[in-house]
Structure 1
Amino acid sequence: MDLDAYQLVHGPAWQRLDTLTKQRRRTGAEADELVRLYQATATDLSMIRSAAPDPEMVTRLSQTLARARSAIAGTHEPAWRDVTRFVAVTLPVAMYRIRWWTVTVGALFVLLAVVAGAWVATQPDALAAMGSPAERQEYVDRAFAEYYDPGAGFAATVWTNNAWLTAQCIAAGITGIGPVYVLASNAISVGATGGVMAEAGELDLFLQLIAPHGMLELTAVFVAGAAGLRIFWAWIVPGPRTRSRALAQEARSLFTVAIGLVGVLAVSGLIEGFVTGSSLPWWLKIVIGAIALAGFWAYVLVLGRRGVRDGETGDLEADRAGYELATAG
């Protein structure tokens, strides 16, 4: 294809499309012309991409078509229907698709935490690295339990910290290393704390204070780690899709998980802020935490399975993702 000649012939139509797109008001005839030029320019862009993919011209025409599409279809305004769809379809489907990744991440996290805890509890050098005997005794006797100070302020602090942690896991997913580092460092930290408590004969207190909120909180961390690693895996093993498309689809789908986990961690924060450190019997605290965890998995498995069965992926619809062009008629 002679690109210069092609542009000379079709350039006036592209310019006319750009002019019509920028107009605030159009007559009926101009609106029809806008649609016709949009379709023709979309065809031109497809031909240029396949025969003479000049980057500058492809970018310019893509931008013109994007503006024209907005002019034809109108800008999308969020509505309650979109919010409902996000909560009932998009989010559970995204989480459902990585359920086995989540289970695997969780199992490895717990294994590493147990190994770290056993190492600290049984190895004098590792235990000494956690502080002097007096510091460890102070932590076991007072500091660990006093950390869980009931109240809204504590719940809000825990919520924001954990939401930031999970967002980092997902955002750093493309590196592959980021989620692994966050998960491993947290597993070692939790395990080492448990090891200090176990060595002092207070493992039961550790589990009582960790379990009520920790069941849901750690599950959220596992989901975030799974989402981040799944994004990395889509980049490494894209399957039948192009690498860029696979990465874009998985990233769009799984970044919704970061938004959804804000709500999950809000529930966990409320439990940690008002249940864990309360005067309720320890068994009741654990039951509350277990109910919250069961509710989360019921939400993911029931709604997620239904959405996947209906063909949902958690990604944007094809036209909003830019994989389909709007057509008239």
Structure 2
Amino acid sequence: MDIDRFIAVHEAEWARLADLARRAGSGGKGLEHGEVDELVRRYQRVSLHLSQARTVHQDPGLVRRLSEVVGAAHAAVHGVRVSRFSTVKRFLWSTFPAAVWTCRRQLLASALVFFGTAVVVGLIFWQAPNRIDLVMPRSTQKAYVEKDFVTYYSENPSAVFFSEVTTNNIQVAILAFGLGAVLVVPGVIVLFENGAYLGLVAGLFATRGRFWNTFVVYIAPHGLLELTAITFAGAAGMRVGWAVFAPGDRTRAEALGDEGRRSVTVVLGTALGFLGAGLIEGFVTGSPALPAGVKVAVGVLAVAAFLLWTLGRGRAAAAEGWTGSLEELRPSYIPVDPLAPPAPLPGPVGWVPDPLAPRAALAAAGSVTAAASAAAAAPAAGPEA
């Protein structure tokens, strides 16, 4: 069955389920006698339609629509109530990591542009120190290496410095994201320029014999996390921009909408990375009380935790059915594994109710959840052996 016929055949049932789920939102009080059973049956059938839409038709718009309908019905059947805390938890544990995982190819490209440029430029200036004179006067080089670079991290109160650097880092990330979304190339240029500056500074300290004991000690604590977060923002922008060139089986408008919502998720989550980097830069990097080894260890642990959270958890979240779109934060949204059948209603172990079998009307129980519980207490109402 092609997608147009699939929609035409089932359109009325989807609309009916959406109406039942909406009316059941107050605990089933808005449902007429017998509609509770109808809600349960239609919920199970439309769950199968959603799995078919994901695996066979693979139309993002249809999948999104059915996800909303099935999610609302799921909430009505199981009595789901999503708190604000649960929404935040969902974002941090599922939506944001899944969004990062979907951007992994763009993330690799972003990291190669940024860090690759830094390494190449750093090696060029290290091997030919005289070239630094072309972009920075010798007097400035000396002052920067021997004083200015270090005092920058300690001349202001920690709280003030934290606020300033966090704001600045977020602005850089927004710039990398926004320009990357404009046909990719402008965002690549921003990453290249920032990578080149990092390489210039690294090369300067290397030529003065202070790469490890000064540059690394004062960059690694916050910089590993901060620079990683910048590449994340750049990758999000690249994904949006690339959707214009390669929308896949979607229209360009649909592709931009889908990738835009997913990329905004990445940018919002990346802001937490900048917050962490700002805290480290404000309170750890310039602290005279902490040994150099401790500072560097803090930076390594911070970026390792960030990558484990985003990429490690992201792979698992994507396998669970999360896509990273902001729409997943809606209370009614539930991820659907395209290879798994819809979850059965509560009942005796091993018993799965027949979605087409009639049930006794239980609207008087006051809620749809009560209907499921009553079904569990009377397994004889299930399919015959």
Q: Fold conserved (TM > 0.5)?
A: yes
**1:134 alignment partner AA:** S
Deviation at 1:253, TM superposition (A): 0.8
- Is 1:170 the counterpart of 2:174? The answer is no
**1:196 alignment partner AA:** L
**2:310 alignment partner AA:** V
Q: Which residue of 2 aligns with 1:327?
A: none
Q: Which residue of 1 aligns with 2:54?
A: none
Q: Could you say if the C-alpha distance between residues 206 and 292 of structure 1 is closer, same or farther in structure 2, counting changes exceeding 3 Å?
A: same
Question: CA separation in 2, counterparts of 1:191 and 1:319?
Answer: 40
Question: CA separation in 2, counterparts of 1:196 and 1:319?
Answer: 47
What does 1:219-298 correspond to in 2, within 5 Å?
219-279=228-288, 280-298=290-308
1:197 to 205, 215, 220: 205
Q: Which has the higher contact order (CA 8 A, sep 6+)?
A: 2
TM-score of the pair, normalised by structure 1: 0.70
Question: CA separation in 1, counterparts of 2:313 and 2:329?
Answer: 24
**2:116 alignment partner AA:** L
Does the CA contact (< 8 Å) of 2:110 and 2:188 recur in 1?
Answer: no
Q: Which residue of 1 aligns with 2:224?
A: 215
DSSP 3-state at the match of 2:324: coil
Does the CA contact (< 8 Å) of 1:174 and 1:235 recur in 2?
Answer: no
Q: Which residue of 2 aligns with 1:83?
A: 88
Deviation at 1:120, TM superposition (A): 2.6
Q: Which residue of 1 aligns with 2:313?
A: 303
Q: Which residue of 1 aligns with 2:106?
A: 101
**1:159 alignment partner AA:** T
DSSP 3-state at the match of 1:90: helix
What does 1:40-51 correspond to in 2, within 5 Å?
none
Structure 2: any 5+ residue segments left out of the alignment? 1-29, 31-81, 331-385
Q: Which residue of 1 aligns with 2:26?
A: none
Does the CA contact (< 8 Å) of 2:233 and 2:267 recur in 1?
Answer: yes
What does 1:46-57 correspond to in 2, within 5 Å?
none
- Is 1:153 the counterpart of 2:160? The answer is yes
TM-score of the pair, normalised by structure 2: 0.60
Question: CA separation in 1, counterparts of 2:204 and 2:328?
Answer: 52
Deviation at 1:78, TM superposition (A): 8.4
Aligned length: 249
Question: CA separation in 1, counterparts of 2:281 and 2:238?
Answer: 27
**2:114 alignment partner AA:** F
DSSP 3-state at the match of 1:312: coil
Of Structure 1 and Structure 2, the greater helix share is in 1
Q: Which residue of 2 aligns with 1:138?
A: 143
